[in-house]
Structure 1
């Protein structure tokens, strides 16, 4: 009986254990990665329904297939071929660095990102074509279908299309996309993405970041459409590009729409509708611009964003073969003189002050990609609810649907070009190529009224030529050739530009924090391209609560913000009366480490009520007539109190409020007030409550508050390296650990006769840490000891530096060699210094530093008694130094046979 009971217990235990293991091993195919704040829309993201809206509202067909969803992914070295195995699943189209992708990994310039998925061959009729569309892939993408490379597309913000008809097979088809994205380390326009996000630069968005989709089209079909409204002539001009069935591999917009192909068999039927009423019908030959009359046009404006529906039929030999839907708005933008003779911005021949905000288009959960279409639309609704009538889309091109929402809601858009990647011919050529595609891609949106060429001299070159080109390529819009070419911060001019705004339609100045007017130039509107930046951090809604709050004028509370913002708008009113035509406030939403948004990064909290903001703004320009209808979907909680008094928080803690959120907040406040005892106390309590301390944001917090090897956080950091692997842990964490190991275990044995074997044993004990920072700190210890003249210091410096990896200290060779030259007379040590100075000479590319290294080398030779060779090298040093008096003086001393070194005891 006892044996049977034991056997039963063992069976039950094994069953439970094995089922638990199975559950643990059954990882979900996708889940949002934790460690950052998320928006309210993140919970709506499901692999089965990702950005399901038709992605191209201005050229609509009914028959399309959405390829968003789960794909396989792999990250490999840049030299790799198509991988045989993949690393897991990624949710397309969220960037690989984003939480919503399910991956949240940085892609390095020396790596490739691979995507793979299969799809069923779409059902087609004879002659029909299957087009594969990519909204945007950052930056260089290579498309493979069923093992065959079809095309390479370069450009991180532009649509492109592949005709895959001739490469499909019956049943399942394999699609592979290879991506290389150097972010800010290549020739590619990249906006504010950087490999190491900091300050006003943010996390990269690599890979597929807009919708991937297929559609079936007739053998002959409408490939692209250009719509040019003319308010004064009460007409609209249409240019229609037609594909006659040949396979196409293009970016859709790279070439002008008129074609020299024979289109004599084709015509276009056009119908313009106003609601249910037909305004105009006509038929015209294909291949030439078509003028359609729109009498007594209903004009588009932020007050009344009316859009005409447009239907086009492609007719071949009298038979309709294709029909598409589109829309347009009748609006005109220009610089004209007001009744006082001041050049201002006019919309539809009426003055309109462009009251705007600087929208950067970043999301905490999706980075470049909004979680949902509702979220994408929300950002425009929010700006409208605050009382703005203008958005400056800052150094980013959005998906078509963002501009569609701007068209529908009534928002004026200033569209920035994405700044050049680097100052090379390759970088400039790519910038100009992409600018042309950007304008063509966005041309039909009535909301876009201004193109912005350059921002604050980022990559600026050939400004007059490029501004003139932009005005010629699109004469229907204003061109801001350089926003912030003149930049003031706290009344200090940071960039002087004597020939500013050449050929542009406006003069533009940036002024932080308080507004100022741009200089007057005849025929140009005066605008304030950026100002403001009031920092208001909201606890619980920060990208990183360990980063100090930031704004252009420090950080304040919401009541203080209201006072400052009101004063700024009062200043705008005065400047507007003097001729200012536009102002752009920085910014609508916090972005990563910046807390200078009117709303938090997660779009959950608005720092001032929208009614208050609208009331303040109405001093400059009245709210739009449609704001109530357009903003009915807006919702956000209002920030009332922020960062309550530290003493009050301590009293709450004493009364028993010690939940995780409160303890984390108390720890951060204790750090702010340099209350070391409570930092240790509160952080320890918080860490002990963590359910998963190995999440990225938890590890960052633990790294920040761990100051001793005996702190509870150190053990967690050490385990994290073992669990995740050294290469996958942020360098800030491993560096902190090595610093603590040095302080607690190594520093105490660095005496006049250190036990170097013991130092290496300590390093080995803490593997997989590399220990190079520990070795580097040993070098610093003996550098300081050498400067102080301590016994055996130079000998120990040589020993410590010899153990330190060349990769980490190559730039220090000359300084170390000179220090030994001055501080020692031991031949072995001086010979080591000669070795270092030789390396410095070979590595230096800067002429002045190379001359200094030659000087060190010559002086060491001279001190060792090799006067002839020393003089030869000192002559080289004098020639390379271009007049350095100290180097020249050393040369003269050598010639006279005098010591060039101080007396060494």
Structure 2
């Protein structure tokens, strides 16, 4: 570990934007259901009386780890936390942060409404300084509303029926990501935006303050690499307003940096550039200090290839619901988030498609740190309306803003299949919405490819994603052997009867990814409620089918990648490579060997395989001669 990593607390809720001082508010809170929605009228935000139960935040009340464990319909829930601050006025300003509350949240501090937020997967904050009391008493009350029957609301895989069924799960209501307090100076850093520039070996920095700085204030930026690179840049410049844009070029003439690639991020070599940003007053004193990082990497699409840092790269993705039996969408611990990434890597995958949720930033940190490419998705609605479109768009903008800096995210996917746009073939309005989402995403982030709706009807996208659960390898070979076979498949076969090309559409030069396949299940011995796209009595039979299906896709000369469904069993979906408790069903070494085979579509992989084979043959020959 580098010196920067030694001091980088990965448990901090925002690893991309870290301050040294913060107070974790996770743990025991008062709790109450409000099935009659009386709490606001009865002013529950001003009295402890209704909060007769205890809940462990940030676990949703439907889950076991919350201590409530009531998965039925409870559309409105309340939380209350009381604590005492020492010398509250000495803290300066005090910010209250929520990682995510599903779906609508209102927050009162000492009886006064401090903020409201709508969107179940994105963060929000409130400056609670005006509501602090001289005696230090701090009472935080949260009302969360999550209507289980509102199909216009972005909900992902949370079921609108009382019990889970088919491919939908128990609900996650209320607080499900960390809550914390953070003291701030009068002028503080509000946002950092890194845009890597591999051609010039640097990055563009956009720095935003939460208010105008006084005249004469400056910002100092230090960028460092891992050993032996050390300090790569120190830059001090004048602040002339609340926003600063700066091009930062790394000092790679340092003799300690022997190779440029020692600083470039990839799944195989996840090098990070660590940043320290300090706001200095007119006398040079540090007013605010934030730690961050970015990855130096470039994504290109050309001639059907997905190209990372100038190298054609085959995407070996696995679909991850990131749902835990005991805590639902919330991770049971920070260590569980790291373990999820490690498990996927141990099976030979170089990427994860996070499915129908926006994952905890700490998970993305471990993808950045350990080397795992990510397709970033969000929770979708199930019907279309102007209201549904507005809610999804507003939350998607917040997702793009929160996660822009993570080098692991290599593709954006705002819509899965045609969820939320069910009449895409017949409705020009819905097609216009999909195209608008694509254009909006590209406008806010020009550095990553975008698939507007993945897997079914292809409206618009930089990558062409196909969902195909064909049960036999021969079917996949016939459908995806080469470009001509794929064109025939899209026009004539139409996997699962979906017109993937859309009305009058045609393939252009996009990379083609089988973004869902497999879904194989080892049939549970004593379960009547289970689901998979192919069921097997033995794990050996399952492994053989997994190998055959994956090999068929690797033999294609036209595919840029695949995404296997799925990493873990999730409630009744028993088609994971791991159980819901994260135990492997199949020999991890054998799964990793299957996923590590070269793709015929990527010449460099075939060449590397031939070189390795020749080296191994020579080694064996020398051993025989001895």
2:379 to 405, 418, 426: 418
C-alpha contact (below 8 Å) 1:266/1:315 kept by paired residues: yes
1:54 paired with 2:40, answer: no
- Give the distance between the partners of 1:231 and 1:399, measured in 2 at CA: 27
- Give the distance between the partners of 1:446 and 1:172, measured in 2 at CA: 41
1:402 paired with 2:363, answer: yes
1:587 paired with 2:553, answer: no
Q: 1:553 — aligned with what?
A: 534
- Give the distance between the partners of 2:151 and 2:280, measured in 1 at CA: 46
Q: 1:269 — aligned with what?
A: 220
Q: 1:564 — aligned with what?
A: 545
C-alpha contact (below 8 Å) 1:534/1:556 kept by paired residues: no
Query: Mean Cα displacement is larger for which, 79-88 or 293-302?
Result: 79-88
- Give the distance between the partners of 2:86 and 2:238, measured in 1 at CA: 32
Distance change in 2, residues 1:123/1:325 (3 Å): farther
- Give the distance between the partners of 1:127 and 1:602, measured in 2 at CA: 42
1:513 paired with 2:470, answer: yes
- Give the distance between the partners of 2:405 and 2:540, measured in 1 at CA: 42
C-alpha contact (below 8 Å) 1:237/1:289 kept by paired residues: yes
Q: 2:520 — aligned with what?
A: 534
- Give the distance between the partners of 2:160 and 2:337, measured in 1 at CA: 25
C-alpha contact (below 8 Å) 1:422/1:428 kept by paired residues: no
Q: How far did 1:54 drift?
A: 1.1
Distance change in 2, residues 1:167/1:186 (3 Å): farther
The structure with more strand, counted as a fraction of residues:
2
Once the two structures are superposed, what CA deviation does each residue of 1:483-509 show, in whole Å capped at 9, x if it has no partner? 112xxxxxxxxxxx4xx342x111111
2:350 to 364, 378, 389: 389
1:596 to 550, 575, 597: 575
Q: How far did 1:59 drift?
A: 1.1
- Give the distance between the partners of 2:120 and 2:237, measured in 1 at CA: 37
Q: How far did 1:582 drift?
A: 1.2
Q: How far did 1:456 drift?
A: 1.5
Q: 1:326 — aligned with what?
A: 292
Q: TM-score, normalised by structure 1?
A: 0.57
Q: How far did 1:513 drift?
A: 3.5
Q: 1:281 — aligned with what?
A: 234
Q: How far did 1:418 drift?
A: 1.8
Q: 2:452 aligns to what SS in structure 1?
A: strand
Q: 1:311 aligns to what SS in structure 2?
A: strand
The 5 A counterparts of 1:696-735 are none
Q: 2:564 aligns to what SS in structure 1?
A: strand
Q: 1:213 aligns to what SS in structure 2?
A: strand
2:594 to 616, 626, 651: 616
- Give the distance between the partners of 1:227 and 1:525, measured in 2 at CA: 26
Q: 2:440 aligns to what SS in structure 1?
A: helix
Q: What number of residue pairs does the alignment pair up?
A: 530
Distance change in 2, residues 1:270/1:88 (3 Å): same
C-alpha contact (below 8 Å) 1:191/1:419 kept by paired residues: yes
- Give the distance between the partners of 1:239 and 1:413, measured in 2 at CA: 23
Q: 1:479 aligns to what SS in structure 2?
A: coil
Q: 1:440 — aligned with what?
A: 401
- Give the distance between the partners of 2:210 and 2:452, measured in 1 at CA: 35
C-alpha contact (below 8 Å) 2:224/2:275 kept by paired residues: yes
Q: 2:51 — aligned with what?
A: 86
In structure 2, runs of 5+ residues without a counterpart are 1-8, 253-259, 422-429, 481-485, 488-505, 600-604, 609-626
2:277 to 286, 291, 312: 312
C-alpha contact (below 8 Å) 1:589/1:600 kept by paired residues: yes
Q: How far did 1:127 drift?
A: 7.4
Once the two structures are superposed, what CA deviation does each residue of 1:97-117 show, in whole Å capped at 9, x if it has no partner? 0000011113636x4201011
RMSD of aligned residue pairs (Cα, Å): 2.1
Q: How far did 1:379 drift?
A: 1.0
The 5 A counterparts of 1:149-164 are 149-164=113-128
In structure 1, runs of 5+ residues without a counterpart are 1-50, 245-260, 338-342, 486-496, 540-544, 626-905
Higher relative contact order (CA 8 A, sep 6+): 2
1:203 paired with 2:175, answer: no
Query: Mean Cα displacement is larger for which, 590-599 or 99-108?
Result: 99-108
Q: How far did 1:262 drift?
A: 6.8
- Give the distance between the partners of 1:151 and 1:470, measured in 2 at CA: 27
1:166 paired with 2:137, answer: no
Q: How far did 1:210 drift?
A: 0.5
C-alpha contact (below 8 Å) 1:513/1:533 kept by paired residues: no
Query: Mean Cα displacement is larger for which, 176-185 or 348-357?
Result: 176-185
C-alpha contact (below 8 Å) 1:536/1:549 kept by paired residues: no
Q: How far did 1:125 drift?
A: 6.0
The 5 A counterparts of 1:667-746 are none
Query: Mean Cα displacement is larger for which, 123-132 or 375-384?
Result: 123-132
C-alpha contact (below 8 Å) 2:87/2:136 kept by paired residues: no
The 5 A counterparts of 1:426-505 are 426-460=387-421, 461=430, 462-485=433-456, 497=457, 500-502=458-460, 504-505=461-462
C-alpha contact (below 8 Å) 2:91/2:183 kept by paired residues: no
Once the two structures are superposed, what CA deviation does each residue of 1:43-70 show, in whole Å capped at 9, x if it has no partner? xxxxxxxx99211111111111000001
1:291 paired with 2:247, answer: yes
2:508 to 522, 539, 542: 522
- Give the distance between the partners of 2:151 and 2:209, measured in 1 at CA: 35
Q: How far did 1:242 drift?
A: 0.6
Q: 1:131 — aligned with what?
A: 95
Query: Mean Cα displacement is larger for which, 284-293 or 348-357?
Result: 284-293
Distance change in 2, residues 1:268/1:436 (3 Å): same
Q: TM-score, normalised by structure 2?
A: 0.81
Distance change in 2, residues 1:265/1:555 (3 Å): farther
- Give the distance between the partners of 2:214 and 2:248, measured in 1 at CA: 20
- Give the distance between the partners of 1:147 and 1:585, measured in 2 at CA: 49
Distance change in 2, residues 1:556/1:267 (3 Å): farther
1:369 to 321, 326, 330: 330
Q: 2:450 aligns to what SS in structure 1?
A: strand
